[in-house]
Structure 1
Amino acid sequence: MTEYLNVGKIVNTHGVQGELRVMSVTDFAEERFQVGNELTMFKPGETKPTKVKILTHRQHKNFDLITLENVYNLKLAEELKNSELKIEKDRVQALPEGEYYYHEILGCVVFAEDGSKIGEVKEVLETGANDVWVVKDAKGKDQLIPFIPSIVLEVDVAEKRIVIEVIEGLLS
Structure 2
Amino acid sequence: MEDILQIGIISSTHGVRGEVKVFPTTDDAGRFKKLKTVLLDTGNERLCLVIETVKFLKQFVILKFKGYDNINDIEKYKGKGLFVTRENAVELEEDEYFIADLIGVQVVSEDGALKGNLKDVIATGANDVYVISLEGGRELLLPAIKECILDVNLKENEMKIHVLEGLLD
TM-score by length of 1: 0.86
The more displaced of 50-59 and 83-92 is 83-92
Say if 1:36 and 1:88 are closer, same or farther in 2 by CA, change over 3 A. closer
In the other structure, the counterpart of 1:38 is 37
In the other structure, the counterpart of 1:11 is 11
TM-score by length of 2: 0.88
Work out the percentage of aligned pairs sharing the same amino acid: 32
Residues 102-121 of structure 1, C-alpha deviation per residue, up to 9 Å, x if partnerless?
A: 12211111111112333111
Match among 89, 94, 97 for residue 97 of structure 1: 94
In the other structure, the counterpart of 1:152 is 149
Gaps of 5+ in 2: none
What one-letter code is carried by the residue in structure 1 that aligns with 2:65? L
In the other structure, the counterpart of 2:27 is 27
RMSD: 2.0
Residues 17-75 of structure 1, C-alpha deviation per residue, up to 9 Å, x if partnerless?
A: 221111222224322x226511111213x2x3211011222232332221111122222
8 Å CA contact 2:142–2:163 kept in 1: the answer is no
Partner of 1:79, secondary structure, is helix
Say if 1:30 and 1:112 are closer, same or farther in 2 by CA, change over 3 A. same
The more displaced of 52-61 and 120-129 is 52-61
In the other structure, the counterpart of 1:66 is 63
> How many aligned residue pairs are there?
168
8 Å CA contact 1:109–1:117 kept in 2: the answer is no
8 Å CA contact 1:36–1:55 kept in 2: the answer is no
Gaps of 5+ in 1: none
In the other structure, the counterpart of 1:87 is 84
Partner of 1:124, secondary structure, is strand
The more displaced of 120-129 and 82-91 is 82-91
CA–CA distance in structure 1, aligned partners of residues 114 and 101 of structure 2: 19
What one-letter code is carried by the residue in structure 1 that aligns with 2:38? L
